[in-house]
A and B are shown apart, each in its own frame.
Chain A
Amino acid sequence: MGPEALAQVLRPLRGMFPPERFPRLLVGLEVSDDAAVYKVSDDVAVINTLDFFTPVVDDPYDYGAIAAANAMSDVYAMGGEVVLALNICGFPPDLGSEIVAEILRGGAETVREAGGALAGGHTVEDPEPKYGLAVMGMVHPERILTKGGARPGDILALTKPLGVGIITTAAKADAADPADVAGAIVSMKRLNRDAARLAQEAGVHACTDITGFALLGHALEMAERSGVRLRFDFERLPFLDGATRYAEGWLFPGGTCRNESYFGPRVEFSAGIPQEIKQLLFTPETSGGLLLALPPASAEAAVMAFSAAGHGFWIVGSAMDGEGIRIA
């Protein structure tokens, strides 16, 4: 479902859960953020989120691991740690049990890597395989990260390169170099746990993860929630190997069109940015990295800290007064 249709069907639900009746619901339907957050006590808030999707890669283990990393990413984007996870499964009856076992092993090992426990799940029959997790995380209520804290002058950074969406689409068209697909799989399986921790240590103001609404859709949510304008430096945007080449071949998934038509009117591009790069920035990502808004004084320390941890970190732009997004 595209972002516009989703916003429309959710609108009637928003008024049903007013904040004055649910004062402990710190993040809910009222605002579009990465996950729901419920305050249990002054020291503990619970984060709830779920995500599942159809296979993005051929290998069942990798599929399970990617789906799990993607589902848990919303907990990290809210500043929390994963505590519990439950499997969400839809499998065709004729899918071999050894394949199902590999998908579930990929998911379970990724939950274990995250320090959480896989504690159950639910399976239905489905002609097309689907897998993901419902995840519970925990965070101190004063350490919750949202999309709403970016301030003018903040620097913007990404913690993973962009492009897994177009690479996996190219792979489905048998047009992708296996080495590029392997690079995308490594990127998608990587947890956003270290990146979120390093961002917290750097005093991050706002944070979100880059998934189905693409860089520009998620950045727009941050801009609007924070009441700022975000400017990205096109030359600094990191892409996985192969991504721009497949964009030149116009191998965009359907989500690109939906994102472009919904978010496009609020994005300005400088002259000279190639059409396929514009499209690429509207292309859905799976298990993408974090988009961070950091105080400028901590930028240098953040570069050092991510580098010391062997983690990718790219400064890609800045926040300023105004609204919307500019790619320059």
Chain B
Amino acid sequence: MATVDARGLSCPQLVILARKAIEAGQFPIEVLVDSVTSRENVRRMAEKAGCSVAVNEMGDEFSLTLTRR
């Protein structure tokens, strides 16, 4: 289990952090973001990288759970 707190970060930093966590391979990975754009970018990158993505909405923020497909 790994957590990436990408709240307050913008592209590409947050995608890069999430990508590094995927490469490190400690699944499941929880990624915290604070915008719809960030959520979509992490989700699309993770799906491209072969992960399944579950999204939880928490007010204005989102938690994405990435698991290996």
Q: In the assembly, what is the distance between CA of A206 and CA of B49, in Å?
A: 41
By a CB distance below 8 angstroms, the chain B residues around A276 are 48
In the complex, whether A248 has a CB less than 8 A from a CB of chain B is yes
Contact count band on B: 10 to 19
Given contacts A249-B19, A252-B41, contact A173 B12 (CB under 8 A): yes
User: Contact at B48–A257, with CB atoms within 8 Å?
Assistant: no
Q: In the assembly, what is the distance between CA of A279 and CA of B44, in Å?
A: 11
**Which of A173, A257, A261 is the one whose CB lies under 8 Å from B16?**
A173
User: Contact at B44–A172, with CB atoms within 8 Å?
Assistant: no
In the complex, whether B55 has a CB less than 8 A from a CB of chain A is no
User: Contact at A251–B12, with CB atoms within 8 Å?
Assistant: yes
Could you tell me the dominant secondary structure of chain B's interface residues?
helix
**Which of A173, A248, A254 is the one whose CB lies under 8 Å from B10?**
A254
Minimum Cβ distance to chain B for residue A2 (Å): 11
By a CB distance below 8 angstroms, the chain B residues around A275 are 44
By a CB distance below 8 angstroms, the chain A residues around B10 are 254
In the complex, whether A239 has a CB less than 8 A from a CB of chain B is no
In the complex, whether A256 has a CB less than 8 A from a CB of chain B is yes
User: Contact at B11–A248, with CB atoms within 8 Å?
Assistant: no
Q: In the assembly, what is the distance between CA of A175 and CA of B45, in Å?
A: 14
In the complex, whether A169 has a CB less than 8 A from a CB of chain B is yes
> In the complex, which residue of chain B has the Cβ closest to the Cβ of A257?
B37
Q: In the assembly, what is the distance between CA of A254 and CA of B16, in Å?
A: 12
Q: Chain B 9-26, CB within 8 Å of chain A: the 1/0 string? A: 011100110010000000
Q: In the assembly, what is the distance between CA of A137 and CA of B15, in Å?
A: 40
By a CB distance below 8 angstroms, the chain B residues around A169 are 12
B residues 12-58 touching A (CB-CB < 8 Å): 12, 15-16, 19, 37, 41, 44-45, 48-49
User: Contact at A251–B16, with CB atoms within 8 Å?
Assistant: yes
**Which of B11, B19, B45 is the one whose CB lies under 8 Å from A256?**
B11
Q: Chain A 153-188, CB within 8 Å of chain B: the 1/0 string? A: 000000000000000010011010000000000000
In the complex, whether A55 has a CB less than 8 A from a CB of chain B is no
Q: In the assembly, what is the distance between CA of A248 and CA of B15, in Å?
A: 13
Q: In the assembly, what is the distance between CA of A198 and CA of B40, in Å?
A: 42
User: Contact at B48–A251, with CB atoms within 8 Å?
Assistant: no
User: Contact at B12–A253, with CB atoms within 8 Å?
Assistant: yes
User: Contact at B11–A249, with CB atoms within 8 Å?
Assistant: no
Q: Chain A 258-281, CB within 8 Å of chain B: the 1/0 string? A: 000100000000000001100000
Minimum Cβ distance to chain B for residue A188 (Å): 18
Q: In the assembly, what is the distance between CA of A173 and CA of B49, in Å?
A: 15
Most buried by A among B12, B37, B44, B45: B12
- List 4 A-B pairs, minimum CB-CB distance, nearest first: A250-B45, A254-B11, A173-B16, A257-B37
The residues of B with any CB-CB pair to A shorter than 8 Å are 10-12, 15-16, 19, 37, 41, 44-45, 48-49
Not counting A175-B19, A249-B49, A251-B12, a sample of 19 additional A-B residue pairs whose C-beta atoms are within 8 angstroms of each other reads A169-B12, A172-B16, A173-B16, A175-B16, A248-B48, A249-B48, A250-B41, A250-B48, A250-B49, A251-B15, A251-B45, A252-B11, A252-B15, A252-B41, A253-B11, A254-B11, A254-B12, A257-B11, A261-B37
